Amino acid sequence: MLQVDNSKPDFPWGPFPDGWYTVSFSEELKAGEVKRVTYGGKNLVLWRTASGRAVLSDAYCPHMGAHLGYGGVVRGESIQCPFHSFCFDPEGRCTSTPYEGKIPHRARLGTVPLEEKHGLLLAWLPGGEPGWSVPALDTTGWLPLRHNVWTLSTHPQETSENSVDLGHLPVVHHYEDVRTLNLARADGPYLTARYSMRRKGIPGIGKYIDAEFTVHLWGLGYSLVETWVESMGIRAREFVLNTPVDGKLCHMRAATSIYDGIPLEKVSPALALLPKRLALHALREVIFQSFVNDMKQDFDIWQTKRYVDPPALAQGDGPVGLYRRWCRQFYPDMPKTAAGAGAQPQEMLSVASG
Ligand code: FES
Ligand SMILES: [Fe+2]
């Protein structure tokens, strides 16, 4: 187990870049449940109404400060405080108190914008009005997410930088023949790129796998990698979802889904003998474990590295400078010249040369 180095310098541009961050997988929050969470440096409660609406609100009751995560209960479409039984709806309005008379104006519970999309509960952190949204994916024909979460000492800008850091792919992940199919392109809070590479095979599925990856970043907390393995007809979605907790730690989530129309006989004759549902779940598991295995290869580096700005970029690094310039928008309080500086004209050449 890695000893976390608490002496490494803090990430310089602030611990909580604006954006949509996963605070839970949908299936982890049942109707009527109340959970304590800390994200974006705030103590919050995540709860789901009886009709199924997910809500993220301040942990502390505006009446006299009780923590709603310790004894708060869902009553229909509201959450009831354990201290004096005030109830609050998903907008934070106080809907009832046990007293006669008017509800005090100040009895308003703070809420955090929350959207439920393709199996994720995405919150706009660290707060305020969302400036954009993550597009919903059509999940028709896709298996539910297989997922996991780890607590790491890192920052979402550092982990998302992997998406454009081509140089680490052969070194850390042992990918071969890494090529850029589409140059990295940024458009507002969205950044996309497309690569191909060869990786060592997965047991039972072939010696080598030649795959194409399309990376979609929406801000720094949400990365979707669409994977296409033409030789086997495999289509997979892999999510890398990093959510800052308290300014030091992050929750790093990984999730995988696969398309249920994959021609199983092309993947493995043995798999094709199983009942289809079982075979698809087995394939999703194998792909998920392989994805997690790759991701874990980055963990020690993420947890021990420091942020270097400007970096000593070399030919072949990938569009790191483009990425860092794109990152600046997520720190609205930073001077424009400060955050994420360090783009070198040279690294743009390295994109073109793949
Ligand atoms: S502290 Fe919540 S109702 Fe009084
Ligand atoms: Fe990586």
- Within 8 A by CB and 6+ apart from 235, the residues are 226, 227, 228, 258, 259, 261, 262
Residue 310 lies in a domain: yes
Q: What is the rounded average pLDDT of the residues 97-125?
A: 96
For residue 87, the enclosing domain spans 19-125
Query: What confidence score (pLDDT) does residue 349 get?
Result: 34
Instruction: Starting at the earlier edge strand, list the strands of the sheet with 250-258.
Output: 146-152, 250-258, 234-244, 222-229, 208-218, 190-200, 176-187
Q: What is the rounded average pLDDT of the residues 116-134?
A: 96
- Report residue 205's pLDDT band, with 50, 70 and 90 as the boundaries: confident
Residue 105 lies in a domain: yes
- Could you tell me if 80 and 156 lie in one domain? no
Residues in the chain: 354
CATH number, position 85: 2.102.10.10
Mutate to test the pocket of ligand 1, among 60, 83, 99 (most ligand atoms within 8 A of CB): 83
Q: What is the rounded average pLDDT of the residues 105-122?
A: 97
- Could you tell me if 68 and 114 lie in one domain? yes
Residues 267-309: tens digit of each pLDDT: 998 899 999 999 999 999 999 999 999 999 999 999 999 999 9
- Within 8 A by CB and 6+ apart from 278, the residues are none
Token look-up 């889904």 returns: 257
For ligand 1, atom 4, name the residue with the nearest CA. Answer: 84
- Could you tell me if 242 and 318 lie in one domain? yes
> Which of 61, 94, 125 is at the close of a domain?
125
Residue 332 lies in a domain: no
Query: 241 by DSSP, 3-state: which?
Result: strand
Which atom number of ligand 1 is nearest to the Cα of residue 61? Answer: 2
Does pTM surpass 0.85? yes
Query: What confidence score (pLDDT) does residue 350 get?
Result: 35
Question: Ligand 1 in contact with 84 (CB < 6 A)?
Answer: yes
- Could you tell me if 305 and 183 lie in one domain? yes
HSE, CB side, 13 Å, CA atoms: give it for residue 33. Answer: 13
95 vs 1, residue with greater confidence: 95
- Could you tell me if 54 and 196 lie in one domain? no
Give the count of domains, the chain.
2
Query: What confidence score (pLDDT) does residue 1 get?
Result: 55
Asked whether 40 and 126 are in contact (CB, 8 A), the reply is yes
- Could you tell me if 156 and 295 lie in one domain? yes
Q: Quick one: DSSP state of residue 108?
A: B
The mean predicted confidence, pLDDT, of the chain is 92
- Could you tell me if 162 and 88 lie in one domain? no
Residue 347 lies in a domain: no
Residue 341 lies in a domain: no
- Could you tell me if 266 and 163 lie in one domain? yes
Mutate to test the pocket of ligand 1, among 78, 86, 87, 97 (most ligand atoms within 8 A of CB): 86
Residue 352 lies in a domain: no
Question: Ligand 1 in contact with 97 (CB < 6 A)?
Answer: no
Among candidate residues 3, 2, 6, 1, the one with its CA nearest the CA of residue 249:
6
Residue 167 lies in a domain: yes
Question: Ligand 1 in contact with 64 (CB < 6 A)?
Answer: yes
- pLDDT at position 351 over 90: no
Residue 81 lies in a domain: yes
Which atom number of ligand 1 is nearest to the Cα of residue 65? Answer: 1
Question: Ligand 1 in contact with 109 (CB < 6 A)?
Answer: no
Question: Ligand 1 in contact with 220 (CB < 6 A)?
Answer: no
- Could you tell me if 247 and 285 lie in one domain? yes
Strand stretches in 90-188, DSSP E: 94-96, 111-112, 114-117, 120-125, 146-152, 176-187
- Could you tell me if 299 and 180 lie in one domain? yes
> Which of 95, 125, 155 is at the close of a domain?
125
Mutate to test the pocket of ligand 1, among 84, 96, 97, 108 (most ligand atoms within 8 A of CB): 84
- Could you tell me if 178 and 73 lie in one domain? no
> Which of 72, 92, 125 is at the close of a domain?
125
- β-pair type (114-117, 120-125): antiparallel
CATH number, position 306: 3.90.380.10
Q: How far is the CA of 127 from the centre of ligand 1 (A)?
A: 23
Residues 22-31: tens digit of each pLDDT: 999 999 999 9
Q: How far is the CA of 23 from the centre of ligand 1 (A)?
A: 25
Which atom number of ligand 1 is nearest to the Cα of residue 97? Answer: 3
- Could you tell me if 321 and 238 lie in one domain? yes
Token look-up 């109707």 returns: 31
Q: Is the peptide bond before 126 cis (omega within 30 degrees of 0)?
A: yes
Asked whether 318 and 22 are in contact (CB, 8 A), the reply is no
